[in-house]
Amino acid sequence: MTDRTPMSRTRWTALVASVFLLLALVAVYMVLEETGTLGTILDAAALRERIVHLGAWGPFAVVALMMLAILVSPIPSAPIAMAAGAVYGHTWGTLYVVTGAEAGALAAFGIARLLGRAVLHRWFGERLPAGLIGSQNALMGIVFVSRLLPFVSFDLVSYAAGLTLLSAWRFALATLAGIIPASFLLAHFGREMASGEADRFMYTALALGLITAIPLGVKLWRDRTSRRCR
């Protein structure tokens, strides 16, 4: 009996801390919406101007906004990445975007581990993927491929991965490897939009579409191969 009490208190403490964290995220979102900041985030050009006015604090704002975009679903990350590329260029813009996205993904992963499946299922409902089970290597592959597909919810994958047996370092590595190409292209995309050169803008859009098509092509090829083997 005495052995279960400390464990129970630890779980309750973790649960209360997680609830306060979730409430804080909701409060941040409401503040962003009420102050009009959310509208600015949705407009890459307006966000670019706001980041420029922040001066030396601009990179910290990009990292913080990327983290929020991962933790809070309604906040989109693409305009933030494009604004970062427009202000800081391909290299530094990509670095700031990757840093924020990786930190946000790890935070979501940690929250899921802390909260557990029951609470998150109430939060996301049927949107929460239930099939992320399997070996460590298979889970790493799923996380990596999902990062290359822009139509797959980044935040849901991060939360769902935290409910599996996937180790934190494997999740971090798969996420980092997967987000670098898309982050670079989005930053480059924003840079070319700011420059106003239509041809280079078109080539960047084609490259972004190619990165999306590659994992889909691999998946289709594997499905056909497995069917033939049967």
Enter the tokens of residue 110.
Answer: 């940690």
Statement: residue 220 has pLDDT above 70:
no
Statement: residue 11 has pLDDT above 70:
no
Lowest mean pLDDT among 38-42, 103-107, 161-165, 197-201: 197-201
69-94 pLDDT, tens digit each: 888 877 788 888 889 998 998 889 99
Distance CA 179, CA 224 (A): 27
Look at residue 32 in the predicted model and tell me its pLDDT.
73
Distance CA 148, CA 222 (A): 17
Statement: residue 174 has pLDDT above 90:
yes
How many other CB atoms are there within 10 angstroms of residue 103's CB atom? 16
Q: pLDDT class for 126, splitting at 50, 70, 90? A: low
Q: Which of 202, 190, 227 is nearest to 51 (CA)?
A: 190
Q: Measuring CA to CA, how many Å separate 225 from each of 6, 35, 134, 161, 220?
A: 52, 53, 21, 27, 9
Distance CA 167, CA 137 (A): 10
Look at residue 27 in the predicted model and tell me its pLDDT.
78
Mean pLDDT of 215-223: 53
The answer to whether 128 and 160 have CB atoms below 8 angstroms apart is: yes
Look at residue 59 in the predicted model and tell me its pLDDT.
94
Q: pLDDT class for 5, splitting at 50, 70, 90? A: very low
Distance CA 28, CA 224 (A): 46
